[in-house]
Copies of this chain bind each other. A is one copy, B any other.
Amino acid sequence: MGIVDIAPWIVLAASICGLAFAMYKFFWVKKQPEGTKEMANISAKIRKGAMAYLKRQYKTVGIFFIVMLIIICVMAAFGLLTWFVPFAFVSGGFFSGLSGFIGMKIATYANSRTANGAQNSLNKGLKVAFSSGTVMGLTVVGLGLLDISVWFIILKAVLSDPNEIMAAMLTFGMGASSMALFARVGGGIFTKAADVGADLVGKVEAGIPEDDPRNPAVIADNVGDNVGDVAGMGADLYESYVGSIISTGALATAAGLGFKGIVVPMMIAAIGIIASIIGTFFVSTKEGATQKNLLGSLRRGTYVSAILSAISAAVLIFTLLPQNTGVFWAVISGLVAGVLIGFFTEYYTSDSYKPTQKLSESSKTGSATIIIDGIALGMNSTAIPVVIVGISILVSFFAAGGGGFLATGDLSSFSLGLYGVGISAVGMLATLGITLATDAYGPVADNAGGIAEMAGLDEEVRNRTDALDSLGNTTAATGKGFAIGSAALTALALIVSYTDKIQALGGQLQLSLTNPPVLIGLFVGAMLPFLFSAFTMQAVGRAAQKIVVEVRRQFKQIKGLMEGKAEADYETCVDICTRSSLREMILPAALGILAPIVVGLVLGVNGVVGMLAGALVSGFAIAIMMANSGGAWDNAKKYIEAGNFGGKGSDNHKAAVVGDTVGDPFKDTSGPSVNILIKLLSMVSIVFAALIVKFNLVDLITGLLK
């Protein structure tokens, strides 16, 4: 039995390790005291609302999955796909959803426990929140590798051709992407509708503070943090993680690396899981730690994991691919690019740096100027990540051996280079277990703050949860860097997988930029993220409008609510958010799934590749712009609240609140969903490739001209 036969089992073992560790942490968190009865009560309400949402979301998404399943089965019956595809598709969707579900379950247990921990000390609060994040992080990577390794073991036993195996595996990527898009978009609409609605009436009209229990939308707001920032992000990163590993594996055969090339990305990921587990032990500080100590401790964990991963990856690659040791540098370039993009995200959005400080200064001349400057800041911030990704592509391409193609036109070295690009995405996401943990603890801290406020805990407690929350903003910036960077590289690998598939299907590729179908596809693709963002932003607007109406109604009709004598009807608000976000997520998701099919039917396979590339490059810029504009507005507001430029309640602050409100759907709904969109488009294209190769309008017309 060679290394190639043992490797999948090692990967399976690593995934089980990850899941076991997640389970251990899960029960540790649940064992922590929940605080007062009131705190437990509020937490239960949030949990109930969140679970109710998820259940209904799964039902809605279930209908979509059944429809897609029927379509896929019909295609399989016509011989356009193998019969593994339907099952793979469902398993990808199921595990992606499950990642979100488990992450959210623990987050809704951890919120009151974090608030309670923060009653003792900052460190205690961090420990609970970070453990909850760890559950999420390791669940995502554990389930991801479980799905990959089990499928690989089964498929390898049944099919012998590595190409066929990887083609089937790519379809569970489509399941995962679809699920992720629904979760991100639905959750994103929910959370921002509740947030904007609660703020517009509660803060602005009624003048009560944030998280005030008198606000009928306050529970919906806290539920939103969980279904959007936790469940949505879990499904999203599950998809990125799985997508990068399988798309790279799919490139291995064209690169002539065979099964060894397929198992390398899996093994790098497996190493990453173990390194992440080890890294979590480095996250802890002495009692009485300051916020800076805490950040240092989180960073220590991440860096330890990254270094461990890099060293082990070197050993792995030198053993498995002794002819292609340059691939190691692709791993490093991915890791470094992820860290750098994260740093620059922080630079543009944190109020410790010039750009956001200047942005908050522009509030002096009113809301119009802070909006203009915020959009300009976001647009400005696209330049550096593009350069970083560009360098990372070039380095990994050359390092893996792609230079031969540019020198002599040799196609096998071309595939090798592209394999390197895929590997750099895997490298970027290798330590996702821990980077996601440091990212996912933020919403827990945010919720804990809400509970502290609603339960009327000491101001000191709220200050501590605020410190945790603000720390979370910093780590979230790094997390976003990884998410966006890896999305770009993964989408790239997927596009190449698509072209490989088309060639395997006997389709005619003519991918020159001057070929009209390619060009038109490029135009359409570049437009899609704009249209998609428009859909999602308008959805937030409509849903928020409904919350505004309902909150106003409750303030008017429930006697004694403002005096704190009567309780608000929280459930109706949760219900409205649930129903409208589920209805509103259909259109954007349909765009992501139908666009590749329609473009394919009209323009053929070359048009599809153009569309994928167009969506990738414009989507990358839009996603960064929206995330960074939104983040900077949020922190510019916080900077003013911290006492700069007039402080809370000043006209400048009011202008900054407008900026923050505009930024909400930017950074938490549209921006992160675009990341998923660019990968989903590729996945759908791959699944429907056989259909498009056989039938499309451009080929039909040119056929008549022959």
Residues on A close to B: CB < 8 A? 196, 200, 204, 362, 365-369, 371-373, 375-380, 382-383, 386-387, 389-390, 393-394, 397-398, 402-404, 406-409, 414, 417-418, 421, 488, 492, 495-496, 499, 510-514, 516-520, 522-527, 530-531, 533-535, 537-538, 540-541, 544-545, 548, 609-610, 613-614, 617-618, 620-621, 625, 657-658, 661-662, 665, 698-699, 701-703, 705-706
Q: Which of B541, B609, B657 contacts A376 (CB 8 A)?
A: B541
8 A-B contact pairs sorted by A residue (CB < 8 Å)? A372-B537, A375-B537, A380-B535, A389-B523, A394-B517, A406-B516, A409-B510, A523-B620
Q: Decide if A492 touches B519 in the complex (CB within 8 Å).
A: yes
What's the nearest-Cβ distance from chain B to residue A311, in Å?
A: 28
Could you tell me if A417 and B516 are in contact, using CB atoms closer than 8 angstroms?
yes
> B613 and A658: CB pair below 8 A?
no
Most interface-central of A408, A492, A527, A665 (chain B CB within 10 A): A527
Q: Given the interface contacts A386-B524, A665-B372, does A379 sit within 8 Å of B658 by beta carbon? A: no
A369 touches B526 (CB 8 A): no
User: In the complex, what distance in Å separates the CA atom of A657 from the CA atom of B366?
Assistant: 11
CA distance A373 to B375 in the complex (A): 15
Complex partner residue of A516 from B397, B533, B703, CB under 8 angstroms: B397
Q: How far is the CB of A615 from chain B (nearest CB, A)?
A: 10
User: Given contacts A393-B520, A531-B383, A702-B406, are A513 and B613 in contact (CB under 8 A)?
Assistant: yes
- A527:B382 contact, CB within 8 angstroms: yes
Residue from A403, A406, A658, A705 having most chain B Cβ neighbours under 10 A? A406
Report how far A403 CA is from B516 CA in the complex, Å: 10
Say whether B511 contacts A702, CB under 8 Å: no
Q: Give Cα A407 to B705, complex, Å.
A: 7
In the complex the two chains form, what is the Cα distance from A531 to B377 in whole Å?
9
In the complex where A402-B516, A617-B525, A703-B407 touch, is A537 in contact with B376 (Cβ < 8 A)? Answer: yes
* Among A372, A525, A702, residue most surrounded by chain B Cβ atoms (within 10 Å): A372
A541–B511 contact, CB under 8 A?
no
Distance from A137 Cβ to chain B, minimum over Cβ atoms (Å) = 29
Q: How far is the CA of A358 from the CA of B697 in the complex (A)?
A: 37
Distance to closest chain B CB from A692 (angstroms): 15
Of B390, B404, B408, B524, which is within 8 A of A523 by CB?
B390
Chain B residues closer than 8 Å to A495, beta-carbon distance:
513-514
CB distance from A667 to the nearest CB of B (A): 12
Which residues on B sit within 8 Å (CB–CB) of A372? Answer: 537, 540-541, 661-662, 665
Residues of B within 8 A of A518 (CB): 513
Task: Tell me the bound Cα distance from A158 to B122 in angstroms.
Answer: 82
> In the complex, which of the residues B366, B406, B488, B522 contacts A617, with contact meaning CB atoms closer than 8 Å?
B522
Q: Given known contacts A366-B658, A393-B520, A537-B375, is B530 in contact with A610 (CB within 8 Å)? A: no
Contacts A383-B527, A408-B706, A530-B379 given; indicate if A393 touches B511 (C-beta within 8 A): no
CB-contact partner of A609 in B383, B403, B513, B701, under 8 A: B513
Chain B's closest residue to A522 (CB) is: B617
Having A368-B661, A382-B531, one finds 12 other A-B pairs with CB under 8 Å, namely A368-B657, A376-B533, A389-B523, A390-B520, A394-B520, A403-B702, A406-B701, A418-B516, A519-B613, A523-B617, A526-B620, A527-B621
B519–A393 touching, CB < 8 Å: yes
- SS class of chain A's interface: helix, strand, loop or mixed? helix
- Residues of chain B with a CB closer than 8 A to A403's CB: 701-702, 705
**Do residues B365 and A548 form an inter-chain contact, with CB atoms below 8 A?**
yes
A382 to B609, CA, bound (A): 20
A541, B376: Cα distance in complex, Å = 10
Give which listed residue, B380, B614, B699, contacts A534 with CB less than 8 A: B380
Complex-state Cα separation, A614 to B706, whole angstroms: 32
Chain B residues lying within 8 Å of A418, measured Cβ to Cβ, are 514, 516
Top 10 A-B pairs, shortest CB-CB distance: A368-B661, A526-B617, A379-B534, A380-B534, A406-B702, A407-B702, A390-B520, A376-B537, A379-B530, A511-B512
CB distance from A413 to the nearest CB of B (A): 9
Name which residue of chain B comes closest to A706, CB basis: B407
Q: How far is the CB of A373 from chain B (nearest CB, A)?
A: 6
Complex contact B706–A362 (CB within 8 A):
no
Q: Compute how far the CA of A35 lies from the CA of B647 in the bound complex, rounded to whole angstroms.
A: 53
A523:B698 contact, CB within 8 angstroms? no
| A702 surroundings in chain B (CB, below 8 A) | 403, 406-407
Q: Do B523 and A379 have beta carbons less than 8 Å apart?
A: no
For the complex, what is the distance from the CA of A525 to the CA of B407, rounded to whole Å?
Answer: 24
Give the most central of A408, A417, A530, A610: most B CB within 10 Å.
Answer: A530
CB distance from A705 to the nearest CB of B (A): 4
Chain B nearest Cβ from A534, distance in angstroms: 4
Q: Across the interface, which residues of B come within 8 angstroms of A398, CB to CB?
A: 701
Min CB distance A387 to B, Å, is 8
Chain B residues whose CB sits within 8 angstroms of the CB of A625 once the complex forms: 530
Question: Given A380-B534, A617-B614 in contact, is the A368-B513 Cβ separation under 8 Å?
Answer: no
Instruction: Give chain B residues whose Cβ lies under 8 Å from the Cβ of A610.
Output: 513
Which single residue of chain B is at the shortest CB-CB distance from A699? B406
Give the residues in chain B near A488, CB-CB below 8 Å.
Answer: 523
Contact of A516 with B394 at beta-carbon distance under 8 Å, contacts A365-B545, A386-B524 already known: yes
**Contact of A658 with B371 in the complex, beta carbons under 8 Å:** yes
Query: Whole-angstrom distance from the CB of A21 to the nearest CB of chain B?
Result: 37
- Once the chains are docked, how many angstroms separate the CA of A383 from the CA of B378? 23
- Given A376-B537, A514-B499, check contact A662 B368 (CB 8 Å): yes
Residues of B close to A618: CB separation below 8 A: 526, 617-618, 621
A244 to B378 CA separation, bound complex (whole angstroms): 33
CA distance in complex: A196, B204 (Å): 27
For residue A609, which residue of chain B has the nearest CB? B513
